[in-house]
Structure 1
Amino acid sequence: MGYTGRAEWRKHYAEGKGFRQLGDAERALLAAHTPVPEEGGRVLEVGCGTGELTAYLASLGYQVDAVDFAESALARAQQEHADTEGVRWLCLDIERDDPRELHGDGYDLVVMRLVYPFLRDRSRMLHSLAERLSPAGALVVITPTAEHTPAERRDIALDEDEIKTLVAGWQRAERFDADELAVLVLRGPCHSNTTEGEKRRL
């Protein structure tokens, strides 16, 4: 399976399709390990889809910049979560578009849920997002694992070597399980080196 571009995702969401629903275990882990700072916090969600996680993060008290490159996803998100306050819905390809719309003072939390395996250049993107974290901030990657994913859907998941590469170089990396998803909570400067092996095969 090759790179899935904007056109495919626009069609996906325009046809009423979605992604795996946010589970209670994921909610509990996010609330426990990435609570909103006392003075308030700002989160960047990369690949927000139809906004289920966005709405949950907002309910915790975060101000949320919710980013997706599929206009059809954002249209549904804004309709389905019209009463959710504290959210900026941004149509942006995080890998290719000008990031000037993102918050200039950084984020207390960056979340990628079911997105990381689809990135074209994983290491470059990880470093770019890490640079947007506040000093005490966390980057959370929620991903299917190859162990629990059918072979024909391998492209949506990470194997153990890919997870080791992802967490390498962070000052603190914690891994939790949420209904056969790996929840990776990464903190501190990311010092790992970019390698060709971290790029997604096209």
Structure 2
Amino acid sequence: MGKVPQEIWERHYADGLDFAPLGADERTVLAEHAAAPEGGGRALEVGCGTGELAVHLAATGYTVDALDRADAALERARARHQGDGVRWLRLDIEHDDPADLDDAGYDLITLRLVLAFIDDRSRVLHALGERLRPGGAVVLTTPQAAHTPADRRGIALDEDELTLLTAGWASVRRLEAGALAVLVLRGPAGAKASPSAAVNCP
């Protein structure tokens, strides 16, 4: 997530700041399109911040690995969510060695409000896609440029950027959660998506 210097992220979390809380619309999307497999599943949250989504996923049946590049974020997550069954990892998904991730793969990988801060998004997404178990999904949640004030454009993605993110996935489903776009990506990374694979849902 190279667009923002490390010290900025550390200061953000050390100062007690956070990002937008997980909304009811997002919870509904996850329940309908990325529910844990029967008997439980494994999930990876990339850019977990202080842990709200990771703990939500754990409560719905996933065993969760949650990673962030900011030590200050992870300190707050561990303090706030002790005993919630989440493994917290300090890792920059774009630049660090991912050796600590589960070799058995994941049924769900989430990236919430972090895409705009990753430089090489397509490379990162396809590398994550290789860690999906059969039938698994990558769920991307991002502010949309069209609904974001100009002075905050750096936190959002526009339609061209969103289209690039869907290239190479066998199945793409786009949904809305308030002003956020949610993309549910399935299928082996590198497989060409058919024209009917992209579905826009209200």
TM-score with structure 1 setting the length = 0.91
Secondary structure of the residue aligned to 1:78 is helix
2: distance between equivalents of 1:31 and 1:4?
A: 32
Deviations 1:109-138 (A, max 9, x none): 000000011102111101111111112110
**1:178 and 2:177 equivalent?**
yes
**1:29 and 2:13 equivalent?**
no
Identify the residue that residue 200 of structure 2 maps to in structure 1: none
Deviation at 1:56? Answer: 0.4
Deviation at 1:192? Answer: 7.0
1: distance between equivalents of 2:16 and 2:187?
A: 38
Q: RMSD across aligned C-alpha pairs, in angstroms?
A: 1.3
2: distance between equivalents of 1:6 and 1:61?
A: 32
Q: Structure 1: which 5+ residue stretches go unaligned?
A: 194-202
Deviation at 1:38? Answer: 1.3
2:3 maps to amino acid: Y
Identify the residue that residue 199 of structure 2 maps to in structure 1: none
Give the paired residue count.
191
Identify the residue that residue 200 of structure 1 maps to in structure 2: none
Identify the residue that residue 53 of structure 1 maps to in structure 2: 53
Query: Within 5 A, what are the aligned runs for 1:44-193?
Result: 44-85=44-85, 87-191=86-190
Q: Structure 2: which 5+ residue stretches go unaligned?
A: 193-202
2:84 maps to amino acid: T
Asked if 1 retains the 8 angstrom alpha-carbon contact of 2:170 and 2:191, the reply is no
Q: Are the structure 2 counterparts of residues 25 and 68 from structure 1 closer, same or farther at C-alpha, using a change threshold of 3 Å?
A: same
2:21 maps to amino acid: Q
Runs of 4+ aligned structure 1 residues displaced above 6 Å come to none
**1:4 and 2:4 equivalent?**
yes
2: distance between equivalents of 1:135 and 1:116?
A: 24
Asked if 1 retains the 8 angstrom alpha-carbon contact of 2:169 and 2:190, the reply is yes
- Identity score, percent: 57
TM-score with structure 2 setting the length = 0.91
2: distance between equivalents of 1:131 and 1:36?
A: 19
Deviation at 1:55? Answer: 0.8
1:41 maps to amino acid: G
1: distance between equivalents of 2:5 and 2:38?
A: 39
2: distance between equivalents of 1:77 and 1:159?
A: 30
2: distance between equivalents of 1:15 and 1:167?
A: 35
Deviations 1:30-49 (A, max 9, x none): 01111111132000100000
Identify the residue that residue 198 of structure 1 maps to in structure 2: none
Q: Are the structure 2 counterparts of residues 38 and 74 from structure 1 closer, same or farther at C-alpha, using a change threshold of 3 Å?
A: same
